[in-house]
Structure 1
Amino acid sequence: MKSGQKQRVGNHELEVTQMGLGGTGFGNLYQSMSDQNAIDTLGATQSAGIEYLDTAPLYGFGVSETRLGIALSNYDRNDFVISTKVGYTLVEKTSAEPHNAPFVDIPNLDAIFDFTADAAKRSIDESLERLQTDHVEIILIHDPDEGATLWDPGSDPFAVSHFDEVMNNVYPVLDDLRNQGVIKAVGLGMNQWQMLAEFAKAGDFDCFLLAGRYTLLEQEPLESFLPLCLERDVRIIVGGPYNSGILATGAIEGAKYNYGDAPEDVLERVRGIESICDRHNVPLQAAALQFPFGHPAIATIIPGARSVEEIQTNVSYFEHHIPADFWSELKHESLLGETVPVPA
């Protein structure tokens, strides 16, 4: 596989590279990074042929977009495809309570949900200002379930739903901008697939950012959701290909799975995958990054990176040759289902 190879997104001519850059690291996820480090990281991204950049107002409460804007000012904006998001509005923080968000060194702001038409328009304008650009290619509607399944993927995916507000208020705004040519693609970004399936049936969407739900460890969307996406000509941006950690670190003590400590059954499964990786000289990370591309609905993956070294490492894993026998043995050992599609 090649990180710079391009795939079409949705119904339009827009293409994204098979590997993109997730923007949470630029928002100081778990640790700070400098503006110069962001500039250097973006340079390494460009050198690797990676042209797709994803960010959001929520990431660092504006820090990710601001830092990406600073970095972009050192390069040709037209060399990149950018997606950002609407749904969270940044407001002054009035409470003395510390943030529960996993970002550090962030402004004294809060992020509140607002799925009104005016909020969507205002959010786009503010994002453009932070990004120091006059356009973005893709707008995604962010967490219309208020992230209800983020910490517990097994919880009711419809326990909190802004579905009607999105379709009545936000979607018409974005659809109009797309029709005018102001943006090129419209989608949603969530940590679950069930509500995305309902959106796919209700509107004309180009892409969905699905975080953590179609990975080497999880293929639940395979039966009904991904076929629906192909039917509706919706392409998938895979976020969280490492399931928030364990597919990058392996089954070590304290390994993270879906933002919590990995349970023993997941640790045992990853140990089994690691054994097969060792036999075939395949890094676990390479298998994790390449696996989603067995399915034709997948357009791109967006692992985060906060340094030149991390970009280079991700590219190395993505382009590592994986023999067909590796995937066959995963199926033989029941670590993948027999009908799960794998990369050719």
Structure 2
Amino acid sequence: MLSYVFIPIIIVLFLVILFSGIFTVRQQKAAILERFGKFKSIKNSGLHLKIPIIDQIAGRINLKVQQLDVLVETKTKDNVFVKLKISVQFQVIRTNIYDAFYKLESPADQITSYVFDVVRAEVPKMILDDVFERKDDIAIAVNRELNESMQDYGYDIIKTLVTDIDPDEQVKHAMNRINSAEREKVAAEYEGEAERIRIVAKARAEAESKRLQGQGIADQRREIARGLEESVDVLNNVGINSQEASALIVVTQHYDTLQAIGEETNSNLILLPNSPQAGSDMLNNMVASFTASNQIGEAMRKKNEEIEQEKKNQDDSRRK
């Protein structure tokens, strides 16, 4: 009767012991198998057998690429406190799984310590601007130091990145003010240059306008002189001498001007003198002025000739 009671119990114990000797390892994982507390073997992904009670799985290790983010606060050469976020990508070397499991208790803490050490040795050598410009140099220095150290523990450092640089809040405000002032300075320089170009262009346009205006006046006077000359020639051909012709032209132009003024209904211009003798008086005054000017010029020419002759005589006397 008792045998019938123990048989199911024995079967259940047998099945439990049997199934305890079967285990699986997931993809990108490795299991460390120990026998009586001593390392026996490393089992990769798949189905495996072990001796129940005698063999034990000491642990499992991740073979995927892992990332550890380390936030380091340090001071730059120009005494600015800054926080750097260092992202370290690492992986267990498949041929060194034993070292990765038994030599190092906490790889994350070990990597963090090395990152702190390297960053706080490199950043204080740089000013804040250099930290931003040379962040790749910091990442290379951290990667080099970690590779040299973590290889002995069975870990390979895939990549090290400086993913964030965060200066003190007051420093960021000061940098923003500096950048804003610099941009305003550049904008003012461009506005000043644009104003200078506008002034130069306006001055050139005005100069060109004056030149063309002067050229137009010169052309107008040249045509007027040519017309007067032709008018005098026509009057000379009909027996009127030059003085009479000039008087006739002046009088004609005088009355033409009066007629043009009279055609303007809203004109406030008053032409003085406005007597019939005005044209003749104007001509007489002009002729008298030209005559006096010619006399003065002739007298000055004769005086200069006398001075030159006197100097020549003195030079001849010295030579003798």
Same fold per superposition (TM over 0.5): no
Structure with greater helix percent: 2
Structure of greater relative contact order (alpha carbons < 8 Å, 6+ residues apart): 1
Larger Rg: 2
